Amino acid sequence: MMRSVSGRNQLTGRIVELKYDGLLAQVKLSIGGQIITSIITAEAAREMQLEIGETVAALVKSTEVMVLRV
């Protein structure tokens, strides 16, 4: 089932690590050589049938984005 979302900040990457801990799941994505970690409910991870190596999108929804000179 494909769903439409209003968020425009979508980053596509591959799942490189997936850990379940009680009610939560930690999902690590490799995106452009960087790692992004997301904490979602274990139920959501199971419903989406997430697996390591799978291509997914991280949807970033925020009221504030900071920029830091590196």
pLDDT over 80 at 3, yes or no:
no
Please write the tens of the pLDDT for every residue from 39-64: 999 999 999 999 999 999 998 877 77
Q: How much is the pLDDT for 46?
A: 97
Determine contact, residues 42/49, Cβ cutoff 8 Å: no
Which is higher by pLDDT, 24 or 60? 24
Average of pLDDT values for 16-20? 98
CA distances from 35 to 1, 2, 14, 28, 48 (A): 27, 25, 10, 6, 20
Say yes or no to pLDDT of 10 above 90.
no
Global confidence as pTM: 0.80
d(CA 46, CA 4): 20
